[in-house]
Structure 1
Amino acid sequence: MDNEPHATPSVLPARRVRIWDLPVRLFHWLTVLLVALAYVSQRMNWMQLHVRAGETLFALVLFRLLWGCFGSETARFSHFVATPAAAWRQLRHLAHREPDVQVGHNAAGGWMVLFLLALLFVETLSGLYDNNDIADEGPLSEIVPAAIANAIAAIHAYGWDVLAVAVVLHVCAILSYALVKRHNLLGPMVTGTKHLPATVRAPQRASLWRAVLLLAFSALVTVLLAVYL
């Protein structure tokens, strides 16, 4: 799929198109809240709350990975994952102002999504094993040797720093698109819709029942990892 920006004449009639479904939008904003909660609870040493936030976040990330395979069109990895060369070409057009006709993530944004999901997955999964040899133990820390648990704890701590940098870059990219290209990336993630030329096909949406089933499966996997193993 071509993810390159294309200039579209502004005279073309526009219509409101739903590009982000409810599961994607809920995942996005719940992730923002849970990451903030994880940060605050860690700083305040509210470790029980920190663990619960991490477990909930793990379930959401697992759901998003499944939704990227079986969900709505714009949520699927096959829709927005492009080659690194395509992402680089996209970034080279950052200073070029043109109408926003992108349906879903562009090539560069797709790679940022993958990077953030990978970081969140590693960070939350490592938290299940986390053991700092003082008082805070992850649910699975007892089933691995102390040396491995300590190494995973180091990954967990370092991963948080990398995640913080990635979040800052993500916010900067949104601001850059707003200020330089005049593209509103935040609004559609709230409303789910965007004004696009009438010639642009509306993306297909998956059933909400499918999302509920995938979320339930993700929650079940998280409970098994955090409680029963």
Structure 2
Amino acid sequence: MQHTVRIWDLPTRLFHWTLAAAFVALVASAKLGGAALVWHERLGYLMLALLAFRLAWGLVGGRWSRFTSFVYSPARLLRYVRGQGQEHVDDVGHSPLGALSVFGLLAALILQVASGLASDDEISFTGPLVRFLSGDWVERATWYHADIGQYLLLALVALHLLAIAFYALVRRRRILRPMLSGDKQLPRPVPASRDDARTRLLALVLAGLAGLLAWWVSRLDAGGL
């Protein structure tokens, strides 16, 4: 008997797809250059807000969106890689490998946004954190943002997409549908993520605060302390 369980709450799903769209737009605007860099900057602040929201939601969000639900020990990760894991437990939310991918992507995105805020291309953009840093640190941040970070992110995203394809084509597991509907079909009942009006209102408040944070950061170069 299959059990339908709400795994991904609506705020998590909206975050996921907005993040994906913002990432694609950021890459495209960076490659186009010129006037598109204005949008690259704006999208960078959007990304900052999204990441701030996800960090907060990882503490208070739905059960399976919380970081505590997908922090695995090295031993458990190794058992999963060897095919010795417990599917009914390890594959409810983020699997051990999926969790590794999520944390890796979040860390790389945070580094990319932070380096962008501290970058200065000496042509059309000066990040709002530049005035607080030495020239050496600004140079390092600019170098990382343009020459390292973007390619690291592209590699991690490619691995993420390959993993999705592997699970869908080889293991015959539906990865994308639950991130659209929020529900998973599971062989055993598990606690569901809370996804009611109260939870969504909390998410809306956190999203607003994250947006205010991004706006405040954007104003730092204009003396917005």
TM-score (norm. length: structure 1): 0.87
Two-structure CA RMSD over aligned residues (Å): 2.0
Q: How does 1:89-104 map to 2 (within 5 A)?
A: 89-93=79-83, 102-104=91-93
Q: Deviations over 1:101-148 (max 9, x none)?
A: 832111111111111111111111221111122332223323322221
1:79 paired residue number: 69
- For residues 8-33 of structure 1, the C-alpha deviation after alignment (integer angstroms, 9 at most, x for no partner) is xxxxx113211101111111111111
Q: Compute the displacement of 1:174 (Å).
A: 0.7
Q: Counterparts of 1:1-229 in structure 2 under 5 Å?
A: 13-45=1-33, 46-93=36-83, 102-157=91-146, 158-197=148-187, 199-205=188-194, 207-227=199-219, 228-229=224-225
Q: Is the 8 A contact 2:164 2:175 kept in 1?
A: yes
Deviations 1:154-203 (Å, cap 9, x if unpaired)? 12121111010000000011111112211111111111111113x41232
Moved >3 Å (runs of 4+):
98-101
How many residues end up aligned between the 2 structures? 214
Richer in helix (by share): 2
What SS does the aligned partner of 1:61 have? helix
TM-score (norm 2): 0.88
Q: Give the stretch that moved more between structures: 119-128 or 143-152.
A: 143-152
**Is the deviation greater in 204-213 or in 104-113?**
204-213
Mapped to 2, the partners of 1:101 and 1:58 lie a distance apart of 30
Q: Which runs of 5+ in 1 are unaligned?
A: 1-12
What is the alpha-carbon distance in structure 1 between the residues aligned to residue 79 and residue 191 of structure 2? Answer: 25
User: 1:61·1:121 contact (CA, 8 Å) conserved in 2?
Assistant: yes
Give the Å deviation of 1:66.
0.7
8 Å CA contact 1:20, 1:188 repeated in 2: yes
Larger mean Cα displacement after TM superposition, 216-225 or 138-147: 138-147
Shift of 1:100: 9.4
How many angstroms apart in 2 are the aligned matches of 1:53 and 1:194? 32
Question: What code does the residue aligned with 1:49 have?
Answer: W
